[in-house]
Structure 1
Amino acid sequence: MTTDTVPLTLGFSPCPNDTYIFHALVHGLVDTGGLTFRERLEDVETLNRLALEGALDVSKVSYHALGFLRDEYVLLRSGGALGRGCGPLVVTRGAASMAELRGKPVAVPGRYTTAVLLLRLFDPSLDNLVYLPFHEIMGAVARGEVAAGVIIHESRFTFPEYGLSKLLDLGEWWEGETGCPIPLGGIVARRSLGREAVAAIDRALRASVVHARTNPGAAAGYIRAHSQEMSDEVCAAHIDLYVNDFSLQLGPEGEGAVATLLQRAEASGVIPRSTAPLFEV
């Protein structure tokens, strides 16, 4: 592939944190080292599956999916979602404890999401999983179609509107268990692009995050165009929760958190073992 003439396929979600982060990159507001991109906006589980099919050059993916992608893709150090106080929530209409959910249907937002990985690490016996698009989970729980649901994204701000209560914060559990922030989603690039191109993408992505943080409001129209059903307040809360210094650069703490998650997932047999280096450099 001649990356300086052929646009790279770039996948990310329409969620406010992603459109905020990628706005400057896809609109040519930062130096991309001659690379161009053709964006594709999809929900995170669709992105996971597209990457698993090898259909994207660069993509946001769940860290659970990364466990299946390491031979073909490398992780970038910028642009991802990793932090504290931002993990998936288990919500219910009536269950009083997680133990009550054993054997009962629990709705989860896609097979390869980090939410599913965390639930399996928390209690492997919770295996009656119902896979639903993330935005359908709260309704399914409220209607009694499932006993509980694992919610992500803006759902963590709106679940009380459905008459639901929080049973467990999986991110809080993870932090208490490991001391690490929770890795939710990262940006990957195809290994076959080569080290030089991967490094250029990572630099451009970091610059895009810097641009967003130093130009508040610049991406507002782009964010709003892809989140029309969300209030301005929820959009702002979404960005504040999922975009932080780890989005700028994973750093040693972030890289350690990712390594811990993948090691535990390997040890539990949830993802295959891999000897491929996680980063290009």
Structure 2
Amino acid sequence: MTDALTLGFSPCPNDTFIFHALVHGLLPDAPTVRARLEDVETLNQLARRAVLDLTKISYHAFGHLRRDYVLLRSGGALGRGCGPLLVARPGIGMSDLRQRPVAIPGELTTANLLLQLCAEGFDQTVVMPFDRIMPAVAAGRCDAGVIIHESRFTYQRHGLVRLLDLGQWWEEETGCPIPLGGILARRALGPDLIRRVDAAIRRSVEHAFAHPDAPRAYILCHAQEMEETVVDRHIALYVNDFSRDLGDEGERAVRLLLQKAEERGLIPACDLPLFID
């Protein structure tokens, strides 16, 4: 295949940090890619239509996509202390939220999956772009909201309080790090090309770690409304050794998340292997 591969990822600092070298042709012999930057739920929906060759994805969405896509070992977001937060206005408690509107950043986001796994009764969810959730909750349009990305650093500015750290709940429940998002490749690309892509993404992550100033302008270009200190905290939180390679611990966490989601009937069962190997 000589045409550029389509690669979808978010404009968030962790993704632009990771993919900078690959997108800008800084890696000799790496496959050529054409980037498409979209919010996480848009990427989830594009993947459902198999529009993209390669894409960042919520692990919740991956549970619905295993027939068409295979998981790569590099480039994803998985870790500890980095999960979604359930926030609300002061005076609202967990017991007040049953059958009440709760804002989520997408039906197929891992944030929503964790909310559903954590407790039943959250069936009045309202989907909206992640950056609109805090204003909606602060204004009383929703009773609470599940926030992701840099929102975990800024929710107090909106007068909101944290009700539950869904990542912390997952870690205490399972002992595993929390799988947030991974990188997928269409199975139709074939094993050889998929392996080349996976190796190239790992090299892109390593290039960013070795030359952290190189992607700076690219990161800030797509994070125009984010303070540089928040950008730095965002990258430090979401890019780690699991971004280089899931490893055994990361793979175990992903398998457990999908298993629990299957057991609750939140995703369909699938007997295909997660990885090409």
Matches within 5 A, 1:139-178: 139-178=135-174
2:3 corresponds to which of 6, 18, 33: 6
- Which position in structure 1 is the counterpart of 2:14? 17
Who is 2:177 aligned against? 181
Q: Distance in 2 between matches of 1:60 and 1:95?
A: 37
* Structure-1 separation of matches of 2:275 and 2:63: 13
Q: Given the two structures, how large is their TM-score scaled by the length of structure 2? A: 0.99
CA contact (8 A) 1:89 1:170 kept: yes
Distance 1:199 1:92, change over 3 A: same
Distance 2:49 2:265 in 1: 22
Choose the corresponding residue for 1:192, options 182, 188, 194: 188
Structure 2 runs not aligned, ≥5 long: none
Which residue of structure 2 aligns with residue 80 of structure 1? 76
Question: Which residue of the partner structure matches residue 31 of structure 1?
Answer: 28
Q: Is the 8 A contact 1:30 1:207 kept in 2?
A: yes
Q: Aligned pair 1:218/2:214, yes or no?
A: yes
Give the match's secondary structure for 1:279: coil
Contact 1:103 1:128 in 2 (8 A): yes
Pair 1:45-2:41 in alignment:
yes
* Residue 30 of structure 1, CA deviation: 1.3
Percent identity for Structure 1 against Structure 2: 61
Q: Do the aligned partners of residues 90 and 32 (structure 1) sit closer, same or farther apart at CA in structure 2, a change above 3 Å counting? A: farther
Match of 2:53 in 1: 57
Does the 8 Å contact 1:32/1:201 carry over to 2?
no
2:231 alignment partner in structure 1? 235
CA distance in structure 2 between the aligned counterparts of 1:73 and 1:57, rounded to whole angstroms:
9
TM-fit CA distance, 1:209: 0.3
Mapped to 2, the partners of 1:38 and 1:232 lie a distance apart of 27
The Cα shift of 1:103 comes to 1.0
Gap change, CA 1:105 and 1:32, over 3 Å in 2: farther
Kept in 2: contact 1:25–1:32 (CA 8 A): no
RMSD (Å), alpha carbons: 0.8
| CA distance in 2: counterparts of 1:179 and 1:31, whole angstroms | 39
Alignment of 1:235-274 (within 5 A): 235-274=231-270
For residues 5-32 of structure 1, the C-alpha deviation after alignment (integer angstroms, 9 at most, x for no partner) is: 1111000000000000000001111134
> Could you list the per-position Cα deviations for residues 150-201 of structure 1 after superposition, in whole angstroms to 9, with x for gaps in the alignment?
0000100010000000000000000000000000000000000000000000
Q: How many equivalent pairs are there?
A: 277
Q: Which runs of 5 or more structure 1 residues have no equivalent in the other structure?
A: none
Cα deviation code 1:98-119 (max 9, x no counterpart): 2221011100001100000000
Q: Which amino acid aligns with 1:122?
A: C
Q: Structure 2 residue aligned with 1:104, among 97, 100, 104?
A: 100
3-state DSSP of counterpart to 2:63: helix
